[in-house]
Each structure stands twice: as structure tokens, then as C-alpha cells.
Structure 1
Amino acid sequence: MKRKKTLPVLGGAWLMLLACTTDQIPQPVAESGSSDNYHNHPRQADYQAALQTFSQKWNCPGSIMLLKRANESVWADAVGKANLEYQTDLRISDQFRMGSITKTFVATVVMKLREQGKLQLDDKLATLLPEVMGKIPNAERITLRHMLSHTSGIFDPTNDDGQYQLALLNNPARRTAMSTDEVLAEYVYGRPLDFKPGDRYSYSNTNYWLIGKLIEKQTGQSLQQALEQFIVKPIGLKNTYIDRRDDRNVVRGYNNFYANGKLMDVTTFDRADSDGQANGGLISTAGDLFAFSNALFSGKLISLTSVKEMMTVPPVRQGTTEYGLGLDSYESPIGTAWGHNGTLLGVDANWFYFPDKQATYIILANNGGGADKSFVHDLLSRE
């Protein structure tokens, strides 16, 4: 299954600054956790053992896994720690940074606005956001569909600009204070397109920065308010938001940053790079994400026609893609899966649904080094 790129380990004397840039780690506030208990699930032993093995193999301080198979009740469990500084046990109900899983939520809002006649997928960027004319080449040719599917050609500083990455790591407080407009002005505007719109696929977080802006413009609301109106309130999510809040009870993120086998708390950088942003700022839980997945693929949030469009991969002239409109896919031994990865420096989040199997898995881990999740195919296909 595909993974999105994360920040590279960059050499040089500036690395010594990292220890000075991290915030003091706040102590979590004690609160009651979820009362959910899946120990009586018929596959508890198999699933629990698989989760333990996964977490140990990939050196995850903590991991959560949720599995749902057709004709079988949902199972979920958590192992390890949410916060190494205070040795806080990870719970199923704990909030995680979801990284790029955010994009599916944002795309769902777009599809709802489209159903209401407020947007069309072939609307041009220059029409939707006239202020980018002269700042993003071919804005009059780039469509909303191009941006949703990462076929716009717009430059992506988070993955492809060393200066952006260095600035984030050396001064996360400055990046945290920057608005989306300021990030676009400093790192995107004036850069040439990587290719002509529609020619090929190239993952770019900038697409969703721009989509977040146009959602706010079209609705007259903040992105948080739009998510609440179109997703959170309609399906009763309790622990999902995108705006910046006190995050002391959000699971901390870790990374083997110096490649020395020791995990470093990198939450400060994840916050700076994603919090409040339409490309990766979602905070949620395994349970809320599962509820969203069920609502999306059953047509409760948007029509099944719109869901089918999200699951349709646009043709490209050069190369191939498995990305639809805010939904990623991959081929597996048990069929095609649809969902999204979420990768931050200290987070590795995966959510995928297999329509043919009517099966879902969610794996959340607080080590951003990346991990192989293919073991779930066997778990979801066992008789």
C-alpha cells in the first residue's frame, strides 16, 4: 500500500538546533477513557496478537487497530503508550493526528457543496479564487477536479522544498503562526507547475490548502464550522475537529529522527506542519473515523453517486494513478481498498475499506517511520 512522503532526515549542523526547538511536553489531563471492551470478541486472541506483533516489530510507542469484517462485530484495541514522557497508557478512545486522512473529510465537504449547486468539479481555480491569478500558472485551466485528484501540477513545498522543511524544523513556532495565505505566498506563489493540468498525477498538499480556502469562501464559515455542519454533527462525531486547540491529550508523535534507534518526540513539528490545515490537520479517534467511513460509503453523508465519483480515478496522459477525488486506493490479495494514509513526522495512520469484502481496517501508530500493514489482509480474509 502506498505511503505519502514525510520530512527527510536532513544533515548538517542545524540538526543540533532541534533539541532546543521542541516545546516542553505538557502533562495529559486525567480523564475517563472509553468503556468499550472487545475482549469477548470471537477473534480477540488472533487480533490482539497481531497488533502486539505489529507494534513491537515497528518500534511503535503505541498502536491502535480497529477491524470490521462482514457478518462480524467490530473489534478494536490499543497497546503501548500515548505519551512516553509521562508513561501514559494508550487507549482506544484517544485522539490521534490523522495527517492526510483529513483530505477525504475535506473532499466530502466539497462533494456536498457540489450537490447543493454551490460548486462544480470543473470550476476553474481562477474563478474560485481570483486572488491567485498571476501567482499560480495556468490557474484559468486548473479545475477543482484537478486539485481534488492531485493532477493539477501545483508545486508541493511540504515534500519537495528543502527550504520549507528546514524552516519548519528550525523554527516550528514561526510555521505555526503562519496563515495558509502566508505559506502560499512564501513557498508556492511564483513557482512553475510541475506539469500541465491533467497530464499526470503528483501528490501535492498545496491542492488542499487551496481547497480549504475555497470552502471557507463558498460557505462563509471557517473550515472547522464547515466540517461540523456537513460531517461532525450529521453523524454525531464526538472527538473530531480540525482547528487548533489545546492538544495535551492528543497522542504524542515520535520518530527515529537521528537514525540511532532512539525515538524523539516530534509533536511540535507535526503541530506546526498540520494543525488547522485542510491538507492534514484533522484530530480524531479510531471510533469516529470508523463512523465516518460507514457513513461515507453507505451514502449517509453524500449521495452514493458522489461517492462513486470520489472512487473514480481520473485518466492522466502520462503515467498512472490510483487516486480518486480525495480517496486513495490500492490493489490487495483481498480486493481493491479505498481510503487514505495519513503520514506526519510522528504519525502513521491508515484507514481503508474493501467494498467487495465489506471489511474495514484502521491502524494508528505514533511512530512516523512507516510500517508494513499488509498483515491485515490475512486477518480480514480468514474463515
Structure 2
Amino acid sequence: MKKKRTKQIFRIVLFLGTAISLFFVPWLLVKAWILPLPDTVQEQLDEAIGHGFEGMIVYVDQAGQPPQHLASGWHNRESEIPADPHALFKIASISKLYDAVAVTKLVSDGRLSLDKTLANYLPELVGKIENAEKITLRLMIQHRSGIPNFTDAPNFWAAPTETYEESLALILDQPANFEPGEDYEYCNTNYLLINKIMDDVLGYGNFQFIQEEVLTPLHLNNTFSALSEVNIDNVMSGYHVGYPLDLKENDYGMHATAEDVGTFLRALNDGSLFKPGEQEIYASIYEYEHGGWVPGYQSFAKYYKELDAVVIAFYSTTDPKLYNWNLSEIINGRIVKILKRQKNS
């Protein structure tokens, strides 16, 4: 009887906790949006920490002004190490911009074709991925392939896959989400396959190609393909609401400083990283800004033409319901408003 009552109490507490969180968090978003705008970007970062983020990094490269390297909160909460604006961060899907540039350069060199299909490049997947004969490289880059997203597999982030084969196995023999080219759906499987295709065409890991063609020419010495390549003490800690441990030891791909991402994004937008003819190819296949999310890490990279400014924003706290993602976008918008006001004052 006592055990049954305990379970009933637990259910009531769980219900009340869920109800309170659903009521409270949207109002936090409203509060973050309507608060008076601070005078400086640094003050906005400090305010964001008050909203519940453990740490934050912002890099601003605005034409005619010295770059701003800003941080607030913790680099490591447990050790009480303050946030470092030059720390390494897991940039997650921002890496797709680098992949798209690499594809652009390989297409320009004639080593890849945007109109060849998945069946052409990976014939072993015919019959295992629906419409492999109709899905072109262009459609994969643009998330218009209809291939299921392997990171949508149940409980994926509780035990992420570690290899290409493990990731691919999650979607093999599944029906397509839509006919190729008929819709858009953001899909990490597209870029899993694109990276495999680049590796096969090059005969070596495509990050080496990115290093040679993008990172080295731009002097980006703080951009790395994996956690194994860096000093882990230089990586900002990441936290996920409801999970007690620091997530920085999880390897989710590329790591970079905000400044390195900002330098890359500036070169992407002004075209200086492209050889003749490449910018036209890139403009026809992908975008010039991106966000990234893995547990513990949210990242945003965007160029604002009206300010001639690149803004990179890193947030080291995520949550299951993505409230923090929405909160981040509000804060990003407020940072841009501060920059506009400062420019016009």
C-alpha cells in the first residue's frame, strides 16, 4: 500500500513539475525579449547567464571596428573556471558550411558532379536507400533527398553512433520521407553520405582537403576535426538540463574557436575563400549561415549585411524541449540590436 502511494505521489510531482515548467519557461522567453536592451554586448551576455546558461562566448567582426572577443559564465562550472572567449567549442552542424565549400571546390575541379546520383557514387546502397538512383549530390547538399535522418532514431543522443557504418545502419531499408526534390527536410544522413563520397573520391579523409583548401589559406589554426586532436582543457564545458555531467568529453565532430568560425564565415560571405568560378557554384547549392546543436552545445554563425558584421555565438547549455534554443535566438537578436544602436549613435 505504501509503495503504491509513493508511486501516486511521484506521478503527481512529475505532473506538477511538467506543468510548472511548461508555464514557466515560455514566460522566461517573454522576459528575455521584453527586458530593456543593455548598452553593451557584454552586458547582454551577462544577462543571458542570468537566464540559465552556464557559459557563453560571442565573437563580433564588424567592418571598421576592432573584433570583439566576449565571454560570460563558466568555462568549467565544477572547477569554477571563468568562460574564455578563445576556448574551443563543439560547432556541430556549422561544419556543414565547411563540407559544402569542400564539395564546391571538388565540383569546380571536376572531381565531383552535382548531378550524379547516390547510385553513381555509392552503388552498394542501391536497394538499401530508397530512390538512390534519383537522389543527386545537389539534392543531398540541399536537404531535399527524402532520406531519413539517422539522428532522429529513438534515444540517439543517449548513445550516439561512432562510425559511418553504425550511423548508416539506422536508416537502411527504411522508406523515404518524400520523393527526391519534392520537399525539404533537414537531414544529417545527407552529410554523412556526402563525407563518405568525398573520402572515396579523394582517397583520403576529406578534412585533410578542408585543411589544405580552407583552413591553412585562412590561417585557421584553431579548427579541428575531432576531440582527439585537441587539449581537452581548452574545450568549453557543455551541460544538458537534467543531466548532471559535463559533456565536453563526448566527441561530436568539429571543434573551433569563435574567432576561427568568424574568420571562415567572413571569407565565405565576401567570397575570398573561393577561386574563380567557385562562388557561383556555392551560391547555387547552399547557405551562408548556420546553427549547430549537440547535447551541451548550441552555436550560431551569421553575417549581417546591414552592419557588415559577422556574429558568432556559442551557448554551453541545452535542454530536452529546446527552450534554450529559442532563448538563444532571442539573445542573438538583442545582440544585433545593440550593434545597430551603437553603429547609429
Q: Does 1:287 align with 2:248?
A: no
The amino acid of 2:297's aligned partner reads V
CA separation of 1:198/1:182 partners in 2, compared to 1, >3 Å: closer, same or farther?
same
> Is 1:110 matched up with 2:110?
no
| Bigger CA radius of gyration | 2
Q: Distance in 1 between matches of 2:42 and 2:276?
A: 34
Instruction: Specify the alignment match of 1:298 in structure 2.
Output: 270
Map of 1:207-218 to 2, 5 A cutoff? 207-218=190-201
The structure 2 residue matched to 1:340, chosen from 283, 290, 298, is 290
CA distance in 1, matches of 2:113, 2:72: 44
> How big is the shift at 1:70?
3.2
Partner of 1:48: 42
SS at match of 1:234: coil
Q: SS at the partner of 2:128?
A: coil
Q: Deviations over 1:116-159 (max 9, x none)?
A: 11112112111112221111111111011111110101100213
Aligned partner of 1:353 in structure 2 is 303
Partners in 2 of 1:73 and 1:106 — Cα distance? 29
Unaligned regions of 5+ residues in structure 2, if any?
1-10, 12-37, 319-323
Aligned residue number for residue 126 of structure 1: 119
RMSD: 2.2
Tell me what 2:130 maps to.
137
Partner Cα separation in structure 2 for residue 45 and residue 351 of structure 1? 22
Name the aligned partner's letter for residue 292 of structure 2: G
Q: Tell whether the 8 Å contact from 2:266 to 2:303 is kept in structure 1 after alignment.
A: no
Counterpart mapping for 1:24-43 below 5 A: none
Report which stretch shifted further, 360-369 or 202-211: 360-369
Q: Secondary structure at the match of 2:339?
A: helix
- After TM superposition, the structure 1 = structure 2 runs for residues 79-98 of structure 1, keeping only pairs within 5 Å, are 79-98=72-91
Does the C-alpha gap of structure 1 residues 305 and 56 become closer, same or farther in structure 2, counting only changes over 3 Å? farther
Rounded to whole Å, the distance in 1 between the matches of 2:295 and 2:254 is 15
Partner of 1:198: 181
Q: Distance in 2 between matches of 1:179 and 1:346?
A: 21
AA at the equivalent of 1:99: A
Deviations 1:169-216 (A, max 9, x none): 1x45xx3xx31122202x011111100000010000000000110111
Whole-angstrom CA distance in 2 between matches of 1:230 and 1:340: 20
Q: Specify whether residues 200 and 353 from structure 1 end up closer, same or farther in structure 2 by C-alpha distance, changes over 3 A only.
A: same
Which letter maps to 1:106? D
Please state if 1:153 is matched with 2:146. yes
Provide the residue aligned with 2:225 in structure 1.
Answer: 242
SS in 2 for 1:93: coil
Q: TM-score, normalised by structure 2?
A: 0.79
Q: Residue deviations 1:9-39, cap 9 Å, x none?
A: xxx9xxxxxxxxxxxxxxxxxxxxxxxxxxx
Partner of 2:335: 376
Task: Give the equivalent residue in structure 2 for 1:40.
Answer: none
Which letter does structure 2 place at the counterpart of 1:243? A
CA 1:308–1:76 in structure 2 vs 1: closer, same or farther (change >3 Å)?
A: farther
Give the percent of matched residue pairs that are identical in Structure 1 and Structure 2.
30
Higher helix share: 2
SS at match of 2:115: coil
Distance 2:266 2:87 in 1: 20
For the 8 Å contact 2:128–2:173, the answer to whether it is kept is yes
Gaps of 5+ in 1: 1-11, 13-43, 275-280, 313-323, 328-337
Structure 1 CA distance for aligned equivalents of residues 278 and 339 of structure 2: 27
Supply the AA of the counterpart residue of 2:238.
Answer: G
Q: How does 1:248-327 map to 2 (within 5 A)?
A: 248-257=233-242, 264-267=245-248, 270-271=250-251, 274=252, 281-303=253-275, 306-312=278-284, 325=286, 327=287
The question of whether the paired residues in 1 share the 8 Å contact of 2:41 and 2:335 is answered with no
